[in-house]
Amino acid sequence: MSTDLSIMYGTAWKKDDTARLVKLAIQSGFTAIDTANQKKHYDEVLVGQALHEAFSQGAKREAFFIQTKFTTKDGQDHRLPYDPKADLKTQVRQSIDSSLEHLHTDYIDSFVLHGPHFRNRLVKEDLEVWQGIEEQFQAGKTKMIGCSNVSADQLRELATVAKVKPKMVQNRCYAQTGWDYEVRQICKEIGATYQGFSLLTANPHILNDRLVLDLAKRLNATAAQVIFKFAMSVGMLPLTGTTSEKHMLEDLKAKDLELTQSEVESIEKIMM
């Protein structure tokens, strides 16, 4: 089994069904898994349970790409994975240490800042958290670091001031912004991979767009598969959080579809 980084399985909102669905995703062929140490939306312990079962059945740790996140207090409920009175860098360390335990591993592949405090600027607390994340990278607990829910300005600033640059950028991806065109361009400039989430749920109208439906018909595929293939074709690592085995297999197969360059460009400009 080798790592397939064409699409990533997202584990949010699955509650008590998390372990079953992550096991199903692994059996279906997903090797890249996204989670967060944030009980409000994720159950990292149950993600770890599914991984542990896979490891016990002979799967190699290095066959997986495991991503988790540090979530600041304002993104958490009362179930915090760190001491809220500790300084921010200590909170980051406590969070990743508990993620390592939850996920039955001694390293994370990608450790991501879940989101800055504000939508359009960075404050000193964000930079302190980032330094904490850099320290975990330097300590060898994660192979790369990244950020999520960032605007173009925030990403540009972070990439400028960071000692260790973000290698993963995870954003909600709306067709009406050219599929987050500006942030994707910055990712290219700084050598980061852009991860798009809510590709289907944030763009329901695109699934009924004539162009997408015609392409789906030609390729004998679904509109959802066309969107995922489009995302891959522009260099994105798409996320899917599907709860259906059929959709898991379809989402994994999207990479085998063939879109021409001009079809990709047409979808890219669909709302612009």
Residue with Cβ nearer ligand NAP (136 or 170): 170
Which spans of this chain sit near ligand NAP (rule: CB under 6 A)? Answer: 10-12, 34, 114, 148-149, 170, 197-198, 200-201, 222, 224, 239-244, 247, 250-251
DSSP 28-80: HT--EEE--S-TTT--HHHHHHHHHHHHHTT--GGG-EEEEEE--GGG--S--
Q: How far is the CB of 242 from ligand NAP (least distance, A)?
A: 3
CB 120, CB 153: distance < 8 Å: yes
CA distance linking residue 200 with residue 206, whole number of Å: 8
Find the angle CA(183)-CA(185)-CA(189) to the nearest 5 degrees. Answer: 115
Torsion angle (degrees, nearest 10) of CA 149, 7, 5, 49: 80
Residue with Cβ nearer ligand NAP (22 or 88): 22
- Neighbour count for residue 206 (Cβ, 10 Å): 22
β partners of residue 177: none
Q: How far is the CB of 58 from ligand NAP (least distance, A)?
A: 26
